[in-house]
Amino acid sequence: MPRTRRKRPHKVPRSEALLPEHDRGTVPEGLATRRALREMGLSPGENTGPVAILRCRLCATRPNWSCRHPTRGFLLRVDLARPKRVPTLAQELALDRALAARSTCPKCSRRYYYCLPLRTVGSCDPCARGDTSPPPAPTSSPPRRSRTGWPPDHCAIRRTHQDYRPHRNAVFET
């Protein structure tokens, strides 16, 4: 069977009809990528599309060709960006509860620092293996609390909705 030939990247000569392209380090003030906007605490807002292209490092050595690589970045206007929306406390609480449901074993009620494979396995690894030994002590520092601060320390409610960072093989009792 003959081998299929790899497609070569489509070379497009640079022209004035396309979006302006800038090499890394030469981007004018007032333009930023989505990642840079996110680091500034902004969302794209009223930007309807990119106004320029940030060329990849490979194309920086080829000034006559337009960059078509997937590593190129699209530049947006900073003056049209809006501040990021901040979720309400009720939204954060709902998200915390949803994440707690994904990281709590339905059989033994242990809470893990990572999401369990509940669709495929249906429980945590020790329960799936039939292991009835007590869980090991947590190996990492205690997780940080969410911004909601719910529930208060004096409540007798289980803390299943706190914001936990994923940690491999970390288990704790609820």
Contact status, residue 68 vs residue 55, Cβ threshold 8 Å: no
Strand partners, 52: 75
What is the C-alpha to C-alpha distance for residues 47 and 130, in angstroms, rounded to an integer? 54
What is the C-alpha to C-alpha distance for residues 10 and 13, in angstroms, rounded to an integer? 10
Q: With pLDDT > 70 as the criterion, what percentage of the chain qualifies?
A: 68
Q: What is the mean pLDDT of residues 123-145?
A: 71
Tracing tokens 């080829």 back to the chain, one arrives at 62
Q: What is the Cα 102 distance to its own chain's centre? A: 17
Q: Is the pLDDT of residue 39 over 80?
A: yes
Return the pLDDT at 139. Answer: 56
User: Closest Cα to residue 54, out of 77, 29, 25?
Assistant: 25
154: pLDDT confidence band, cut at 50, 70 and 90? very low
